[in-house]
Amino acid sequence: MSDFRGKRLAALQAKIAALETGGRPDAGVLPFGAPELDEALPGGGLPLARWHEITGEGMETETAAAPAAFAALAASPLARKGEAVWILRRDDLWAPGLTGLGFPAEKLICVCARDDAEALAVMEDALGTAGVACVIAEVEDVDLTAGRRLQLACERRGATGFVLRRRPFGGGARREAAGSAAATRWRVASAPSEDVEFGLGAPRFQVTLERCRGGRTGAWILEAEKAYLWEAGDVAHPLRLVARLGDRELAPQESAVRKAA
């Protein structure tokens, strides 16, 4: 009897997964390489052929510096396999900064949009274009209808989208929608870097996974890997886990990694 119930449960889970992906086969995931983080995500990594929402706090809702850096690092492995499109609301993206993070700036196509409607339209077109691996768009708000259209565009060619929730010209904050078609929703803020003898430590981010379809929420401190390690293939992902948020104890591999570097 238990075997029968187990089979029925597995069949029901497969049906739910098919509904969530529009009945299309799973496009796979992009693991971060940290079990504590990957286990919170469905399939053990960031779902591909979906779109993901990234937002900030305080002034970051206008400047989007930390969320943009996090998006660039998360998208870097995809950008190395195809073209990357970044849709701007302000012409303030600094390509040398992306290069310093290990993002392949030579694969980047920048588009300036006049408003949210145009940014979403360009994002939808870019996601459905052959050869485009990932699209990052700066958008103040995405309603459910626009979100579903973005998801259909992701499924069309298998591209992955990242929506940076940004209010580029100030003004009052909008009330966030109760629902979202995004596969994941992240809230990102800057975190203090590690103390080093000379210069600045690697950028760190306070990352909260606020919503995750088929997974669970969580909070962590992540650090950008050194660009040369990532470009040489010595590390699996350009972001690595440093600590759980609220627990400043470093991950077990921290000291070994620092000594080896």
User: DSSP characters for 210-226?
Assistant: EEETTS--EEEEEEEPP
Task: Please report whether residue 192 resides in a domain.
Answer: yes
Nearest to 33 by CA among 77, 66, 69: 77
Joined together, the tokens standing for residue 121 give: 């339209």
CATH number of the domain to which 125 belongs? 3.40.50.300
Asked whether residue 30 is assigned to any structural domain, the reply reads: no
Confidence category of residue 149, pLDDT binned at 50, 70, 90: very high
The answer as to whether 3 is a domain residue is no
Per the domain annotation, does 167 fall within a domain? yes
pLDDT tens per residue, range 9-55 = 655 655 555 555 444 556 799 999 899 999 999 999 999 999 999 99
What percent of the chain has pLDDT above 90?
A: 55
Whether 136 maps to a domain, the answer reads yes
In this prediction, residues 65-86 reach a mean pLDDT of 94
β pairing state of 83-88 and 108-112 = parallel
pLDDT (mean) for 211-224: 93
Number of domains within the chain: 1
Q: Residue 233: exposed, middle, or buried by beta-carbon count in 10 A (0-12, 13-18, 19+)?
A: exposed
Q: In 3-state terms, what secondary structure has residue 180? A: coil
Does residue 246 carry a pLDDT above 60?
no
**Position 180 confidence tier, pLDDT thresholds 50, 70, 90:** confident
3 state DSSP class of 235 = coil
Question: Which tens digit of pLDDT belongs to each residue from 78-125?
Answer: 999 999 999 999 888 988 888 888 899 899 999 999 999 999 999 999
Give pLDDT, residue 38: 94
pLDDT of residue 249: 42
Q: Is residue 253 part of a domain?
A: yes
pLDDT at residue 261 in the model: 41
- For residue 217, pLDDT over 90 is answered with yes
Average model confidence (pLDDT) for the chain?
A: 83
119 located within any domain: yes
The answer to the question of residue 34 being in a domain is no
Are 155 and 130 spatial neighbours (Cβ–Cβ below 8 Å)?
no
Does residue 226 or residue 128 have the better pLDDT? 128
Residue closest to 175 by CA, chosen among 43, 258, 61: 61
Structural domain span for residue 247: 43-260
Q: Are strands 46-47 and 184-191 parallel, antiparallel or unpaired?
A: unpaired
